[in-house]
Amino acid sequence: MKRSSLTRRRFLAGTLAAAPLAQSLGVLPSAFASEQSMNPRAQAAFELRKQAALMQSQRPMAPMIANGDEDSLPYRIGCFVKGLHQNQYGEVDAAAYAALLGAIKSERFSDFERLPRGGGRRLSNPQSAFAFHMEGGDPHSFDIPPAPSIATAQVTPETEELYWQALCRDVPFSEYETSAIVQRAAKHLGATPSSVFRGPTKGDLTGPYVSQFLLKPIPFGSGKIPQRYNVTVPETDFMTTLNEWSQIQAGLPPWRWATYDSTPRFIRTGRDLAEYVHYDFTYQAYLNAALILVNAGPKSILNCNQFKSGNNPYRYSTVEEGFATFGPPEALDWIGRVSTAALKAAYCQKWMVHRRNRPEGLGGLIHQTRVGIRTYPIHPTLLNSEAVDAVFAKTGSYLLPQAYPEGCPFHPSYPAGHAAIAGACSVVLKACFDGSMLMPGCVVPSADGLTLMPHDNYSPTIAEEIDKLAFNISMSRNWAGIHFRSDCVAGLQLGEDVAISILQDMARTYTEDFQGLSFNRFSGTPVRITPQGEVIHG
């Protein structure tokens, strides 16, 4: 998608306006002063910045291809319209949606400010879709595949999975092997009780469902923080009636709220995981993981040691050790650094390209079609699914039960922002820590979530636990009912791509004898970033 002329005008105007300011401050960028006038250090720094910018500028802009639901399905039913003017069926007002498309096309803040709203709740940051980023690739240069269409059978398995997750939210992970509802869900989804609702990696498929990084105490200064969290009580689901669903879709605040357990607990159910990501800050889980690893022992912060032992120049030094470079401060900084960049890329895809409806919106289409209120082109394999019928048997509705009173946030579903951050931060963790080391002293929560117990005969590698953590956090939003699995998969890939591009820039900044950054992607593909910023796959 081409940048708008308005954005280009603003960019050029800002560049020209900067010239007199730069002169008054004594700043000498090449556009306004001779490069020869710089001192050697300033010249070297300038060349480094210039070469990094030139390298990233060679990235092509993403083709940004959506699945076609926006124009091929009636009433924009495949699109995210929550909070816009809509009728009693949740069908968006044509003029309101046209205004949204107009604002996206113009990229003007003022056009978004004039959007007609439904119940008054505000859209989540559509303007960020057009933001630039000064490290790594431009947010518009990262691509993801089109999302599955809601009119095809492709969307059936991941929507059925959400309905089964809603039914299994309160089953402790430790009781999956004996739970009748989990066994039924696993059989229907072609899984086993020990593999259902998990990710595809070795780390995801072995050991406890929850990553050790969400269970072990977090070192914080001179103390430690136990990972007991406030959780909601079982069987607290929302949007199980059409009236409540319609009000929330219109943008009205919820009229009933969750009841919280009076006792904080370790994460032991899908509902607990959903509540963890209800109020977490962007890179919370990965900062905690880094703090656990930094304090695990003197050998834990071994940058890029997975493939070549010499990648960390300080590993065998008897004179120096890393700190600002190749040390904990750098790892902690990078985790936060990649998160905003990943979100910008994700919001570009959400608002500019896919505008995918949320699972709660699809649940409304299924319910209204099943009870005969409206007729929507939902694929028969989903419309008549055993999972959908099982939810109806429990709630008396074909709507997808939500774990949050307000349902999903006010931005489109695809890709998942939590997953994009997960992908980005997992790259940083795997690039900064020795992924081949074993995770010592593994634990598992009791069924009531009150205690941690030793988990014998389980010794995953750090890289495997990082993969599990990334998918735990991504899938946690699915446990709430607000994302599809494909949202998570696309978000993880996108976040990895963003972080790799930023580490390309960072790898060029070292003066140590440095061999590069090495790690495996979530897919298992090995990646090496050379000191020159070249990315080598395989």
Q: Other CB atoms closer than 10 Å to residue 315's CB: what's the count?
A: 17
Say what the pLDDT of residue 321 is.
84
pLDDT by residue (tens digit) across 85-118?
A: 999 999 999 999 999 999 999 999 999 999 988 8
Whose CA is closest to 70, among 309, 343, 353, 290? 353
Mean of all residue pLDDT scores within the chain: 91
Q: Percent of the chain having pLDDT more than 70?
A: 91
Find the mean pLDDT for residues 353-360: 98
pLDDT at 437 over 60: yes
Whose CA is closest to 112, among 343, 123, 297? 123
Say what the pLDDT of residue 353 is.
98
Q: Is 168 helix (H, G, I), strand (E, B) or coil?
A: helix
Query: Residue 35: which pLDDT band, with cuts at 50, 70 and 90?
Result: low
Q: Other CB atoms closer than 10 Å to residue 327's CB: what's the count?
A: 17
Q: Is 328 helix (H, G, I), strand (E, B) or coil?
A: helix
Which residues neighbour 196 within 8 Å (Cβ) at sequence distance 6 or greater?
164, 176, 182, 185, 186, 189
Say what the pLDDT of residue 117 is.
85
CA count, 13 A, side-chain hemisphere, 529: 26
As a whole number of angstroms, the distance between CA 126 and CA 112 comes to 8
Whose CA is closest to 164, among 144, 137, 187, 140? 187
Whose CA is closest to 163, among 358, 357, 359? 359
Find the mean pLDDT for residues 381-391: 97
Find the mean pLDDT for residues 460-481: 97
Tokens for 117? Answer: 């709203």
- The partner residues of 529 in beta bridges, in order of sequence, read 517, 535
pLDDT at 322 over 90: no
Give the DSSP letter of residue 61.
Answer: P
Q: Which residue type is seen at 532?
A: Q
Query: Residue 505: which pLDDT band, with cuts at 50, 70 and 90?
Result: very high
Which residues neighbour 263 within 8 Å (Cβ) at sequence distance 6 or greater?
450
Whose CA is closest to 502, among 6, 52, 17? 52
Say what the pLDDT of residue 119 is.
81
As a whole number of angstroms, the distance between CA 36 and CA 34 comes to 5
Say what the pLDDT of residue 460 is.
95
Whose CA is closest to 422, among 461, 465, 466? 466
pLDDT by residue (tens digit) across 178-224?
A: 999 999 999 999 999 999 999 999 999 999 999 999 999 999 999 99
Tokens for 451? Answer: 């205690």
As a whole number of angstroms, the distance between CA 480 and CA 162 comes to 9
pTM for the model stands at 0.92
Find the mean pLDDT for residues 40-60: 93
pLDDT by residue (tens digit) across 218-262?
A: 999 999 999 999 999 999 999 999 999 999 999 999 999 999 999
pLDDT at 388 over 90: yes
Sequence-ordered alpha helix ranges (H) in 169-205: 180-188, 202-205
Q: Percent of the chain having pLDDT more than 90?
A: 83
| pLDDT greater at residue 200 or residue 310 | 200
Write down the domain spans for the chain.
38-538
Whose CA is closest to 231, among 278, 198, 197, 172? 278
Say what the pLDDT of residue 118 is.
82
Query: Residue 297: which pLDDT band, with cuts at 50, 70 and 90?
Result: low
Triad 352, 357, 358: Cα angle to 5°: 120
Say what the pLDDT of residue 459 is.
92
pLDDT at 344 over 60: yes
Q: Picking from 152-156, 278-282, 455-459, which range would have the lowest pLDDT averaged per residue?
A: 455-459
Environment class of residue 336 by beta-carbon count within 10 Å: exposed (0-12), middle (13-18) or buried (19+)? middle
Q: Picking from 45-54, 263-272, 313-322, 502-511, which range would have the lowest pLDDT averaged per residue?
A: 313-322
Tokens for 27? Answer: 């700043």
CA distances from 377 to 153, 160, 162, 369, 383 (A): 11, 17, 20, 9, 9
Say what the pLDDT of residue 284 is.
98
- Name the CATH superfamily for 38-538: Vanadium-containing Chloroperoxidase, domain 2 (1.10.606.10)
